[in-house]
Amino acid sequence: MRSVSHYPGSTQMTPYIIDAHEDIAYNALTFRRDYLLSVVETRRQEKDTLNPQRTGHTLLGWPEYQRGQVAVIFATLFLAPRRYQAGAWETQTFADAAEARKRLENQLNFYRRLCDDHPEQFRLIYNKNDLQQILEPWEKEPAFLPDPAVADPESEPRKTMTHPVGLVLSLEGAEGLRAPEEMEEWWQMGVRFAGPVWAGTRFCGGSYEPGECTREGYALLEVMASLGFTMDISHMTEASAVQALDRYEGPVIASHANARALIKGAQGERQLTDLTIRRLVERDGVMGVLPYNRFLRPGWADTDDRQLVTLRTLAAHVDHICQMAGDALHAGIGTDFDGGFGWPAVPYEIDTIADLQKLAPLLAEFGYPDDSIAQILSQNWRRVLERTLPET
Ligand SMILES: [Zn+2]
């Protein structure tokens, strides 16, 4: 297997990863998941609970971030409108603006507490300087944390080396806001990315309710752009995404979505059409591909043979974006891990997020050189962050 090495300013042999979408607070507050623990430990604790049945087995844990070189995560504030509540157990929903506000603040406070109490594990990134401080150690030396399950007593013991993981706050769906002007308060509280919609259709059409941008939607876009938000089009319909990409004056991304053209039988609006991808690329946006089997093979069920979907399928989505763009500067990863699914609903090679590194040799097989692979794994998101985060 070839090693991926040497991108500008770095001597490390494995590129670090920036993951553009994880619903950490939602899971911590809904299922009491403690992401300081390893995946094995969380799965052990949840063995006799209903969590695996409701949301799949966890794919995330701080030790796995270290082993997978996951340096930065776009961490969401996410609530579902109450009409989409999956069951009484799903606490992170809202009926009105007052409830949305309270619950979103709870999620924000969860991240602040996590980072205040465990600064060696997690740190919030609000500005360029925070980003630089997080990335510096990852660029100097890869993290190394022995895995007790695979430790080889014969091998020379290496020194444990861990780095804090940076969290950038992202609001997934603005539907619960009282008014577009409220975005200013979320910016002040440290949120830097925002998607206008999750379900739809207050501001624009979304994944569950088709439609176009509304008057209030355009007003929201104007407020977001004036504050400096990066707009995330992941959950927009094609019609509203194209309208918003035409109108939005600030930076744009799709944090977690796949290419609809590659998914035969894909229903609904959740994946991006080639038209949307083309417009996103024209605006120099980056699109994070999502390793969820149902978004790679429609109708996939947890009882299906896991070998039906592999990381090669995901690599094909990366390749589709790169072929359309004509370069490797617009594709990234946005796992959406633990976002309503978990193991086994992920490509065959993935047991935990640490296995994302297995995407690198597959991209090499597609013909991508090392520097392009580094761009896809982290450097494209890094470029977005460096361009869009405020100075202080
Ligand atoms: Zn989502």
Predicted confidence (pLDDT) per residue in 291-315, tens digit: 999 999 988 998 999 999 999 999 9
For the cut 70, the answer to whether the pLDDT of residue 3 exceeds it is: no
Distance 145 CA to ligand 1 centre (A): 30
Amino acid 119: pLDDT: 98
Q: 252-254 and 286-289 as β-strands: parallel, antiparallel, unpaired?
A: parallel
In the reported structure, the alpha carbon of residue 133 is separated from the centroid of ligand 1 by a whole-number distance in angstroms of 28
Task: Give the Å distance between the CA of 340 and the centre of ligand 1.
Answer: 9
Q: How far is the CA of 254 from the centre of ligand 1 (A)?
A: 10
Do 14 and 378 meet the contact criterion of CB atoms below 8 Å apart? no
Q: Ligand 1 center to residue 197 CA distance, Å?
A: 10
**Termini Cα distance of the chain:** 42
pLDDT band at 147 (very low <50, low <70, confident <90, very high): confident
Residue 317 is encoded by which pair of tokens?
A: 């989505």
C-alpha 116 to ligand 1 mean position (Å): 27
Q: What is the pLDDT of residues 360-370, one digit of tens each?
A: 999 999 999 99
At 154 the pLDDT is 66
Tokens at 266, concatenated: 């894909």
Per-residue pLDDT band for 264 (boundaries 50, 70, 90) equals confident
CA of 72 to the centre of ligand 1 (A): 18
State the average pLDDT over residues 370-374.
97
Summarize pLDDT for 186-217 with one digit per residue, the tens.
999 999 999 999 998 899 999 999 999 999 99
Q: Is 22 in contact with 74 (CB distance < 8 Å)? A: yes
Q: Is the pLDDT of residue 152 over 80?
A: no
What is the whole-number distance in angstroms between the Cα of residue 34 and the centre of ligand 1?
21
Taking the centre of ligand 1 as the mean of its atom positions, its distance from the CA of residue 12, in whole angstroms, is 32
| Rounded distance from Cα 306 to ligand 1 centre (Å) | 23
Expressed in angstroms and rounded, the spacing between residue 214 Cα and the centre of ligand 1 is 21
Q: Taking 60 as the threshold, does the pLDDT of residue 278 lie above it?
A: yes
Among residues 38, 19, 4, which one has the least CA distance to residue 147? 38
Name the least confident of 9-13, 54-58, 262-266. Answer: 9-13
Non-local (6+) Cβ contacts of 295 within 8 A are 258, 263, 270, 271
Lowest mean pLDDT: which of 92-101, 115-124, 248-257, 297-306? Answer: 297-306
Q: What is the pLDDT of residues 102-118, one digit of tens each?
A: 999 999 999 999 999 99
CA–centroid distance, residue 10 to ligand 1 (Å) = 32
The whole-number pLDDT of residue 8 equals 43
Nearest in space to 259 (alpha carbons), one of 276, 247, 242, 284: 276
Q: Determine the average pLDDT of the residues in 239-253.
A: 97
Instruction: Give the Å distance between the CA of 23 and the centre of ligand 1.
Output: 8
pLDDT band at 63 (very low <50, low <70, confident <90, very high): very high
- The rounded Å distance from CA 336 to ligand 1 centre is 7
More confident residue, 4 or 198: 198
Which neighbouring-strand residues pair with 19?
Answer: 73, 333
Closest residue by Cα to residue 388 from 218, 111, 191: 191
Distance 235 CA to ligand 1 centre (A): 7
- Range with the poorest average pLDDT among 114-118, 143-147, 149-153, 211-215: 149-153
- Whole-number Å distance, alpha carbon 198 to ligand 1 midpoint, is 7
pLDDT at 224: 98
The pair of three-digit structure tokens given for residue 370, joined into one six-digit string: 């090392």
Name which residue leads in pLDDT, 153 or 112.
112
Give the pLDDT of residue 4: 43
How many angstroms does the Cα of residue 267 sit away from the middle of ligand 1?
16
Q: Would you place residue 13 in the very low, low, confident or very high pLDDT band (cuts 50, 70, 90)?
A: low
**Structure tokens given for 109:** 């406070």
C-alpha count within 13 angstroms, C-beta hemisphere, residue 338: 29
Residue 65, φ and ψ in degrees, nearest 5:
-60, -40
CA 328 / ligand 1 centre spacing (Å): 24
- Residue 242 to residue 257: CA distance in whole angstroms: 15
From ligand 1's centre to the CA of 311, what distance in Å? 20
28 CA → ligand 1 middle, Å: 16
Flag whether pLDDT at 356 surpasses 90: yes
Cα(78) to centroid(ligand 1), Å: 8
Mean pLDDT in residue range 335-347: 97
Residue 199, token pair as written in the block: 């379900």
Ligand 1 centre and the CA of 290: distance in Å? 10
Assigned token pair, 277? 């991808």
User: Chain-wide mean pLDDT for the chain?
Assistant: 94
If you measure from the C-alpha of residue 11 to the centroid of ligand 1, how many angstroms do you get, rounded to a whole number? Answer: 34
3-state secondary structure of 102: helix
CB 298 within 8 A of CB 345: no
Q: In sequence order, what E strands does the chain have?
A: 17-22, 70-77, 80-81, 93-94, 122-124, 165-172, 191-195, 230-232, 252-254, 286-289, 331-333
pLDDT for res 151: 64
Q: How far is CA 154 from the centre of its chain?
A: 37
| Rounded distance from Cα 383 to ligand 1 centre (Å) | 22
Q: Provide the percentage of residues in the chain whose pLDDT is more than 70.
A: 95
User: Among 112, 74, 107, which Cα is nearest to 336's?
Assistant: 74
Average pLDDT (249-273) is: 94
Q: Residue 38 Cα, ligand 1 centroid: separation in angstroms? A: 24
Closest CA to 306 of 296, 316, 315: 296
Nearest to 24, CA basis, from 82, 87, 70: 70
Residue with tokens 């299906």: 304
When pLDDT is averaged across residues 111-126 and rounded to a whole number, the result is 98
